Amino acid sequence: WVRCPSPLETLLLNALRRVWDHFEEGFIAFLLAAMTLVTFVYVILNNLYTLFYNLADRWPAASDTLFSIGDTILAGAQAMTWSNALTKALFAWLIFFGLSYGVRTAGHIGVDALVKLASKPVQRIIGVIACLCCLVYAGLLSVASFGWIQTLFTAAIGAEDLGHYGVMQWHIGLIVPVGFALVFIRFAEVLVRILRGQQTGLGLADEAAEAVKLSEHEEHKP
């Protein structure tokens, strides 16, 4: 016998789910924005100082001021040796955090042309087997990578070009076990939906169907 959740519990669970979904989307947007901003500032600084040097050559009367501004910008660009390392770290977080988001939004590409030829009950059985395989894979990687993070935590090694800011290697690598743990949770939700009959497969993206829809849309354009 399984107790059904009360209306209040259902309301709270739905509210928590919406909060988490919005946080997931907001955090991914933050990572993308941070990567773009850091790269943009670094590129601008590396190309802006030459402008002031050229202006100083053209206007000797203000050359001291213009050269000073150019030197300041050049020093700022040279000081941003951490920008590349930070961008790579943010990109790593984006990848592993986005894994579970891709499962939730059917962003991962599915290769299931042969599976769709089978009947619905057979598709559901294949979906359960595939989902169990994904759960085992995500679980193993989450546990194994957690042991790796424990080793990095004990070693207390600073991250490349970021260690002098207090960023350690385990800070960056922590997203690996967390990301696969989130993937495990998402596939557990998929398994529950399959067992309840709410879906038959993993709910992955269908490139063929999207291509057909796109071609039909193009054909109906005036």
pLDDT of residue 108: 63
**205: phi then psi, degrees, rounded to nearest 5:** -70, 145
First to last CA, the chain: 58
pLDDT of residue 90: 94
Confidence of residue 107 (pLDDT cuts 50, 70, 90): low
**188 close to 135: Cβ distance less than 8 angstroms:** yes
**110 close to 201: Cβ distance less than 8 angstroms:** yes
Burial of 17 (0-12, 13-18, 19+ CB in 10 A): exposed
**Most confident range, picked from 30-39, 61-70, 100-109:** 30-39
pLDDT of residue 126: 83
| Helix axes of 175-195 and 82-104: crossing angle, nearest 10 degrees | 10
Distance CA 145, CA 201 (A): 28
pLDDT of residue 177: 95
Q: Which residues pair with 109 in a beta bridge?
A: 205
For the cut 90, the answer to whether the pLDDT of residue 213 exceeds it is no
**Coil/strand/helix, residue 177:** helix
**206 close to 110: Cβ distance less than 8 angstroms:** yes
Q: Which residues contact 176 (CB under 8 A, 6 or more apart)?
A: 96, 141, 145, 148, 149
Which of the pair, 114 or 192, is modelled with greater confidence?
A: 192
pLDDT of residue 27: 92
pLDDT of residue 114: 64
pLDDT-above-70 percentage for the chain: 83
Tokens of 165: 């800011």
**82 close to 165: Cβ distance less than 8 angstroms:** yes
Q: Which residues pair with 158 in a beta bridge?
A: 168
Q: State pLDDT tens for residues 127-182.
A: 888 889 989 999 999 999 999 999 999 998 999 888 888 899 999 999 999 999 99
pLDDT-above-90 percentage for the chain: 32
pLDDT of residue 2: 40
pLDDT of residue 35: 94
pLDDT of residue 212: 46
Q: What is the mean pLDDT of the chain?
A: 82
pLDDT of residue 113: 60
pLDDT of residue 110: 63
Burial of 189 (0-12, 13-18, 19+ CB in 10 A): middle
For the cut 60, the answer to whether the pLDDT of residue 220 exceeds it is no
pLDDT of residue 33: 95
